Amino acid sequence: MGLKAAARELGRPVGEMGDPARGAGRTGASHPMTVNEAVLAVLRPKPDLAQLTGEPADVRAAAQAAFDAPAGLGTIASYATEVPLPATGTWSNPGKGGAQADIVITAPEDGVPLLFVKIDNCFESAQVLAAKIDKYMRFCQRKVKDVDGKERPMWRTRWWVPDGRHGDQPHPPLLLVFNRIGPRNPNTVIAQLAELTERHWKGTAYDGGFHMYDGKLPIVVTGMKQLQEHGPAGAVFRRFGRPHNQTLLEAIGNPRREAHDARQREHQEELRRIAAQHRAEREARRPVCAGCGTRFTDARWKAIEPAGWGAPRDTHPHLCDDCKQQAWSGPCAVEVLQ
């Protein structure tokens, strides 16, 4: 009933809302609650301050701080939970071997067209998580025929993502949020997991100090406490293969490639500016016919330039071709040459 009510409120099909949270009876609802906390930490909804005028000062201060904090991603309609990612079967009847995203975020207006989120309460080993990432990869690599008869990745038949550049089209990124409830140390698990899944995420280095990730799965990790405190705008996200924390948009993107491309564009623009300046300076030096006032053509300009010590000099270097012809052929030559 909850999913149906939410679907009606948002004007979306029930199938797009995901599935009911599973495992509440087995785990005391810790995992579904963590999923909800992660949604709120990324969404960061703003309170309506006008509704809090009668509340105590500390409540209003907390609400004001939340209102002034950096915005989150998308709206509540941008989030779906417990979404099957079938490696076999269909969306509505997935087969074995696929993954399930705890959260799927679609907020293209905020720079996140598609993001899969996996919540880990630190009960699972790196090996178990690596097996789950294998399933994400199988889903991302799966291709099906679309309604136009063309074969494309299955995820593109459901979600819109801009086409990547030729040779640099990674799969949708995966965000792992570690909530330190269980006995495992997330730092140890993350280090092991990065090594176990390197074949999935490691890009190819190029001259210019950047990597390309064609056919790779960007994997980003963070902690629940850091996510709740700083949100997606905080530098609390570490992408596998990178040495420093970044904001979420930087972590799922390719800032070094973008910086390299920006430098290339600036260089090309500088070359165009220099070429335009040279053309303008050359035009300023272009001779003008003393007879009719027209500018010399390139061919005429070249003809009057000295070609060497033994080369004959032009007889009328201050005239264009037409005026030179008239000077040679008739009485107007006297007028022109005066």
Structural domain of residue 117, as residue ranges? 17-253
How crowded is the C-beta side of 286, counted as CA atoms within 13 Å?
Answer: 16
Say if 5 falls within a structural domain: no
Asked if 259 and 332 sit in the same domain, the reply is no
- Residue at 232 is within a domain: yes
5 CB-contact burial (10 Å; exposed 0-12 / middle 13-18 / buried 19+): exposed
What is the per-residue pLDDT for 330? 60
Is 161 within a domain?
A: yes
Residue 40 pLDDT: 94
Tally of structural domains, the chain? 3
Report if residue 11 sits inside a domain.
no
Q: Looking at the whole model, is its pTM more than 0.85? A: no
Residue 8 falls inside a structural domain: no
Residue 238 lies in a domain: yes
- Among residues 232, 253, 274, the one where a domain terminates is 253
Below-50 pLDDT ranges, the chain: 1-10, 14, 17, 22-28, 332-338
- Tell me the pairing of strands 204-206 and 112-120: unpaired
Nearest-angstrom CA–CA distance, 66 and 259: 33
Q: What is the pLDDT of residues 82-110, one digit of tens each?
A: 999 999 999 999 999 999 999 999 999 99
* 299 and 315 housed in the same domain: yes
223 and 239 in a single domain? The answer is yes
Q: Which residues of 42-80 are buried (b: 16+ CB within 10 A; e: fewer)?
A: bbbeeeeeeeeeeeeeeeeeebeeeeeeeebbbeeebbb
